[in-house]
Structure formats: structure tokens, C-alpha cells
A and B are shown apart, each in its own frame.
Chain A
Amino acid sequence: GENVEQHPSTLSVQEGDSAVIKCTYSDSASNYFPWYKQELGKRPQLIIDIRSNVGEKKDQRIAVTLNKTAKHFSLHITETQPEDSAVYFCAASIPEGAGNQFYFGTGTSLTVIP
């Protein structure tokens, strides 16, 4: 099955700096890569996603890049703010049968220091 690795597990940045989180996947059948932000006690919330036919996508301060050849994708947050502090999960999705199988990374705990 798919194996998604995520690094780093913890990340501290000063407010205003950039944060980068990296994920790798193993199965070339994965074709959809969402990123979720989970605040303490809350649900995972989709913040950005990318499909395998696209190399980069940006939404305001958040961007995701995908390198299909190397099987890795990254989340970039610019001009970080304290409210960006949360756990971030990457995932890779494979169409499987009649549903989608989502494989999650182990998470990155991001702390933005004011």
C-alpha cells in the first residue's frame, strides 16, 4: 500500500517568517494530495490541495508544490501568523474500488512565535 512520510514533526518559526513542510509518497497511483490543518480539539480542515496533473497551486499565503517524478510534495506558508499554529497533515489519495483511499502523513506541529 501507499506510504506517506512527513517532515519535520515539529517546526517553530518567528511570526512573519516562512514555514515549509515536506511529504513523500511511494505509490505512483496516488493522484490527489490534500493538506489539512488541525487545531487542538477541532476537526482537520482542508487548507489546500493539488492534483497530479498540476505542479504548483497557490492560495494567498499558502502554496503547495508537487514533484511527481520524485514523489514528493510540499506546503509553503509565507508571512506566518500566530493563528497558523496547529498540526498540519499531508495526505495522498488513490482511487480504490468505488471509493478513495487516503493515506496520511504523521503530522507536523507548527508553532508561530509572536
Chain B
Amino acid sequence: DTEVTQTPKHLVMGMTNKKSLKCEQHMGHRAMYWYKQKAKKPPELMFVYSYEKLSINESVPSRFSPECPNSSLLNLHLHALQPEDSALYLCASSQAQGAGGLETQYFGPGTRLLVL
């Protein structure tokens, strides 16, 4: 099973709303990632969790708050977003850091977010 799942598939929210995106994998992967992707652009890394600890935060505004409750779940809490935050939010996972196949990254289907 090489599947990463994400919910919801689509989300429309106002600038004052609070919402959460969820990501789940049951492949035993210990590294999980959040990316933001605008149309026709490459994914932009936001956060990396490794062994449930935040290891990389790419200077993301505090209105995005990640959480890793356990090794299978990754959340992204959203609050007071701006219209320019509208994008496809992708979750990904990999077995671990390093070489030998452990770093192969698998993407979830994404959540398409629209901020009004």
C-alpha cells in the first residue's frame, strides 16, 4: 500500500474561519511533509516532520500551524488566511531520511483550498 490520503478534497473558507486539513498514511513512514502548490508551479515545501518532530519550517506565516499527533497523521491548522493562500495543499510521506530507498516521497491527492 503506497497510499497517502487527504481530507477534505475541497475547502472554501472565509478569511476569519478556522479549518484543518488532514493527512494520513499507513505505510510506516516516519517523515511527512506539507507542500503548497499554485497552478502550473512546482510544489513549495512548507513543513517537514520527522519522527513526529518538526524538523523543517520554511518560514511559513503563523496562520498555518502544523501538527503531527502520531506517526500516521499530519494536520495543518488554518486561521485568518488570505485570498493569496488559495492553492492545492499536498501532503507527502517518505520512509525516512537518507539513501537506499528510504527517502522516496509519495504524495497525497491534495486539498484544493479557496479563501474568499
Contact = CB atoms under 8 A, between A and B. Distances in A.
Nearest to A100: B103
B31 A44 contact: no
Interface string A87-100: 10100010111111
A95 B103 CA distance: 9
B105 A97 contact: no
B60 interface: no
Contacts of A14: none
B53 A98 contact: yes
A102 B31 contact: no
A107 B11 CA distance: 26
B99 A31 contact: yes
Given A44-B43, A107-B42, A99 B105 contact: no
A99 B50 contact: yes
A45 B43 CA distance: 12
A102 B105 contact: yes
Interface size bracket, A side: 20 to 34
Interface string B17-57: 00000000000000101000000111101001111010110
A106 B42 CA distance: 6
A45 B110 CA distance: 12
Interface in B49-104: 49-51, 53, 55-56, 90, 94, 97-99, 103-104
A86 to B, nearest CB: 12
Contacts of B31: 98-100
Contacts of A43: 90, 107-110
Contacts of B41: 106-107
Nearest to B31: A99
The 9 lowest CB-CB distance pairs between A and B, nearest first, are: A104-B42, A98-B50, A99-B50, A99-B48, A43-B107, A99-B55, A100-B103, A98-B55, A97-B55
